[in-house]
Structure 1
Amino acid sequence: MAQRFTQFCREREQTKLFYYLLAAHNPTPVLLVKGPSDNKAQQQFLGYEWSGAKGSEGIRYIGGESVHDINTPLFDPKDRSNASKISHVIRQAFAGEALQIPSELQAYVTQAPLTELLEFGRVEFDAVLSLAVKTKTSALSSRWPMQQIETLLVPVNGAKTKIEESQIVAQGRLPVITQSSNEFITGYVDGVEPITDLPLVVFGDHTCAFKFVDFPFVRGADGTQILKTDGSIIREKYFYYFASSIKIENADRYERHFKYLKKQKIPLPPLNIQQQIVAECEAVDQAVDVAKVNIEQARQSVVRSLEDASKSSQHDKLTHIAQRVSDSIDPQQHTGPVNYFGLENIESQTGKKIGNTASTYGAIKSTKTSLKAGDVLYGKLRPNLNKVHLATEDGICSTDIYVLRFANAALANIFVHYLRSKPFNDAVLQTVSGQQLPRTSWTAMGQIPVPVFTAAQQTALLGQVDAANQTITAAQATITTAPAQKQAILQKYL
């Protein structure tokens, strides 16, 4: 009986092992495209809907009369190389290029190792690929010995200085590192003893943010943990890269997370392998740094072009150039999905869309403002944050946002940059009232003089804006895909 049982196990497990080795030998993550489950959202995703209306039965395209006008994130019928469409990402995957997944597509497009798409845990193995990626938290595996993080940590020698938020200033001798996930250095402080046992990792106990620090600093007192590892076993920067890849339990909840992190296990390859991982991950980080520089240079080139054109232009009141849209909508009178923009969805200074704007009317309680693709959204609350965004799809927005509509798409594309410029923002700040919740008003803001660009100027500026946007899109894709690239490096070696 024992012999028959052994034979039974061998027959099944050798098949699993064969497929696992084949899958593990494939270093390229699998590209997964998954549409939404909600019917209305599916229609927007596919770009068409089925009509049963008498006389117009069949497919009705969203965006026009034929497939050549279709509006879908899947593809652009007029431009097959459109980098904002899923088809472009698929082409990159087939060509073996580094994937550049735009932020607006990440709800539909993901990557996963092939081994995570096969089910090896059941007795019967059918070699069927599953699109439901199995997440792994504590059950990590590696070809190398694994050890709990808490056993690898050593005491930090010397000062472990913490300071309160009230002590942080804009300029000073010593940088202050907090658990903020939005910035590396929060501010500065003078007159305290810095932490000098370097390098080490700062971990945000609440935010789960990781920061590798190799210069003297002071830490904020708001839940920062300083982690120093035993250098004879593990390189500090390898620890940083691996720890940054860990999916920490309850990371989306407000609680202390170090108790979860320290129980995680980390593979311990030889130090030379650790250094190779660090070198390749650093190359990804360097590409990100270059991308950030390219984004800033592209934005500054537009600013300079606008400043030059403005000097030679006549000026008129903003209210004569842009129409403020005041179409109110009561979400409770509607059903289904809706694209909702709050101030939190517009990144300060850059205007980039952040977070998820997909919502439903039922989840929104108070009156909002209707908007259309091509409108410029201007944050009137705390305008010093300079939140200005060009909408790319219809929807609704918070009443703390002005919806501005221009005569044509060219002006909207130009003015979204001009309204974000320092001269215009300075002028808006002169119109602000309110201490606790400072706001501008359309009555005052609409009176600000703005340039009236000639047709020739519009054409020239639009060309420069388009070139800058292409640079920014490509650079942003480099930034967006960096975590997946570093994850692939870890998987390759571990």
Structure 2
Amino acid sequence: MITKQNFKHLLIHLGFEENKNIFTKKIGDGEYILKVDFSSEKLIYPDGLIAQRDTTKNFSQPENFVVFECVHNLLQAGYNPQHIILEQGMPGGHGMTGGFCDIIVQDNDKNEYLLIECKTADDPKSKEFTKAWNKMLRDGGQLFNYYNSYRKAKWICLYSSDFDENHKYTQLYHLISMQDNDEYLESNPKLRSFKQVAEVSGGKEEYFKVWTETYQNDFISHNLFESEVFKIGNRPYHLGDLKFVDNDTIAKKYHRFATIMRQHNISGRENAFDKLVNLFLCKVVDEKNNPENLKVYWRGASSDNHYDFQDRLQSLYKVGMMEFLNEEVTYIEENEIEKAFHLFKNRKDETKKVILDYFKQLKFYSNNAFAFLDVHNENLFLQNAIILKEVVQMLQDIRLKNEDEQHQFLGDLFEGFLDQGVKQSEGQFFTPMPIVKFLVSALPLSEILQKEETPKVIDYACGAGHFLTEYATQIKDIIGRDEKQKLKNHYENIYGIEKEYRLSKVAKVSAFMYGQDEINIIYADALGRHEKIKDNAFSVLIANPPYSVKGFLSTLNDDDKAKFELYNNLTEESFNSIETFFIEKAKQLLKTDGVAAIVLPSSVLTNGNIYIKCREIILKYFDLVAIAEFGSGTFGKTGTNTATLFLRRKTQRPDLAEHYKNRVEAWFKGDFDNQIEEVFADNYLLKNYCAHCGFDFDDYQNFLQNHNTKIFDTEIFKEYRREFDNSTEIKNLKKKTYFKKLETDAQTELLDKEFKTYAKAIESEKVYFYLMAKDNKSEVLVVKSPADNKKNKEFLGYEWSSAKGNEGIKYLGSNISDDEENINRNQGIYQIQTPLFNPNHLADESKINTLIRQHFMGESITISEQNKEFVSLLPLTDMLDFSRTGFDKAIRTSVQKKIEVKSKYQVVYLEDFPADIKKGKSITSKNAIAGDYKVVAGGKEFAYMHNEYNREENTITISASGANAGFVNFWSEKIFASDCTTIRGENDLATKYIFVYLQSIQDKIFDLARGAAQPHVYPDDIKKLKIPLPPLSIQEAIVKECEKIDNEYENSRMKIEEYRAKIAQIFHDLEVLDKNVVGG
């Protein structure tokens, strides 16, 4: 709002000069002078301008400042003071009591031409403009009252202006033509005109009705001051009239589009977004081809009609589809029909009229590129035309082409209007701009551009194209913004592939918006072959591919499927893990030393089945440089936890994966030929593996050469033997007749031979992937987002809002207080504070993106204190678990600490204590039926009550997931075990002994938790916990001593840490545990 406090700043902005607290501006050749005297608080207008009252010539109300600013603009536009009257009274019942029109502009014949009502701009405290406009929509408001008195006026206008706290000067007005559009009226004889109202001396209500019913409340928001005087609306709209949008404007435009859709009951969001993209495409062509006479704008009801308007759009759409996407669109201009009748001699005009009417019906009364509604007749065409007009009016004043800044208008709309549709059914989720900037800036682009003249870059699931345009934007500062031709050459080597037709249009439009016309967008399936996309050709790959898409393999031909290692033994109908194929596709596309940043669901790191083969591909063909884990809330409404893999393609000549495969095969055949060792000098790698797993190398070598060895006495080989003996194959073998006929020694010999083969198969795979992991050029830099929701928002620098009027991404600015909820006050992405990157200085060495970039380049990195909470360095060999019998190559981003136990008594696995260890049964509060039994889930306390139980009294529970994963508890009553693992010994004494033992190592059990964002402690981990097995008398003594501590804990203020320490001390005092060994 313009106020006394900021009025001086506005005047300076408008070009006024100050002298002794009087601000003056000469207009024209200096013949008209506007003055503001701040000492006397007077607004002084030029001679010749008539003010019927003095109420508008002082500082008494903010509206007077708007009137003064509006008059200034009218004079600047070329109107004379003699044309302008302020505060003209309207005739009423007793003289001039019908109100006072703020501004009347008369023509040279003293006839009213323009009536203006001024209002202060909307702000959080006042909505004067909106209230006045809503009243106009209801009954015509004051302006139609004024027009009823001055019916010669050609235009009426509701006007406001603003000068905000950031000194941003804006004008908002709704300019309404009171002139008939004869061509438009001829299209429908039922429409009533302003002229018809005048002929019968109709009043305000009749004029208002024509504006509402005939012209659909039409208005324009431009050309009030830009047009030649007394010729409003005649001036062509050109590129200079368009404005670049800021973050606040984007939010308002988004809300306006959403409002239009709601008001007209448009429920098909995907279709609405498609039509919006088509309009963007038209606007792109328009800005490029018609800068002096733009076509994508509604010229107003006085000079435009829905048919000509849509015809202009269709013409632009045809050009855009061919120019940018090489797609032919059928479009017939009306003059082509005219030409077709040139040779008609008889009744030519009548025939032409009929045919043109048919042409109009076929062209407009059917679904087309701008049909927000299902159009199949004239009435629906007109309904859709109103929606189309409103959407274009929302867009027409913004400038799309902007080479310096990226406003995520298309991306925000994509997320907002497709989050209920395509994303849920096809696994898409859009990448927020801060994450885009972080990922692209974390790649070693400078290093790549120094080594290669024009590296090829690809996003094979490009969606709206943000990775591509961001890459193109970031290389400008590396190559040089003035190197236009070099930049074009680089843009020509940027490729985006998008399978969804609509999004391919979005991506191409986005490229144009940022002046990157040469970027290649290919509408195709990225998993298939394409003539422009060659294998081993790309230096950079950045992508956020879809995940969990059913039936995607059915769209590929047999040759395409055969290219994938992953395709073997898959069932196409049920297979939906498309993300795994995109990882292998990256292996195919990248050249040696090519780099990638790929956003994937976290399940890729740990899940079984096809994901194991996928991880094998990662380990065999890539160096894993870094992993960035992001929790829910990162990608809008999707709750998916993600892991971005930063990869470098391993050398392909020689193929290291093939080399190590051959070496491992030789070792496991017992071949340790000294001459071969002299060639490869790699036996030390096998020794490293043995050291990593705690094997004696000589014992291991004897195992490989089938000699007697102590290796079978190690714990892991004992586990192998147990699983071997319990396997279905061996059980079936023992049942066979020929086996039963063998002597006992012969049976033992056969089983031992089979076991060695079994163990070698497991160990050879472990050794092979240990070697591949060992070859990783450096430790893996692991980035983890905080689990706490508030801290995670601060970590990201943004949050998501679904509040009406404020939908979409909200950037958290550094200058916003904790209690400030008006997110529109922030300054956008360039104001966010995040440890991930500095939006104003992408090379900021204190940020995580720089750490990853330096790590790519092999530079020594230092993790600052502020980043240690989020960043760690882990050897890849430690991230793989070689201690399990089932080697699934899960990549752990939190390395588990081994729980080593030493006791003078026998130490056994918990499952061999023996103990019954079982997973709980899932139930939700919605499905629970109120009853007497506590439901134990993942928390420290019970969750709710249920009418059934599934565990007896005296049961141990260990929380299975969430923030309290690993928490040990004991229940003396019957319970319903849900999200937890339960343990029961052979009797109550055994159960209580196990419980107090687990309590003594509670911290170590917490350390078992693994998984991104949602940590889990799995039953298999619990089964393999080691526990001392003392005599029953010792077990009983420990339980009794611990019960005393329980009583002390319940009746004092003892801290939980002290309680656990005292329990642990009992085990040490009774020599059940060696005090110096538990842990690790």
Q: TM-score, normalised by structure 2?
A: 0.15
Between Structure 1 and Structure 2, the one with more helix by share is 2
If asked which structure has higher relative contact order (CA below 8 Å, sep 6+), I would say 1
Q: Which has the larger radius of gyration?
A: 2
Q: TM-score, normalised by structure 1?
A: 0.31
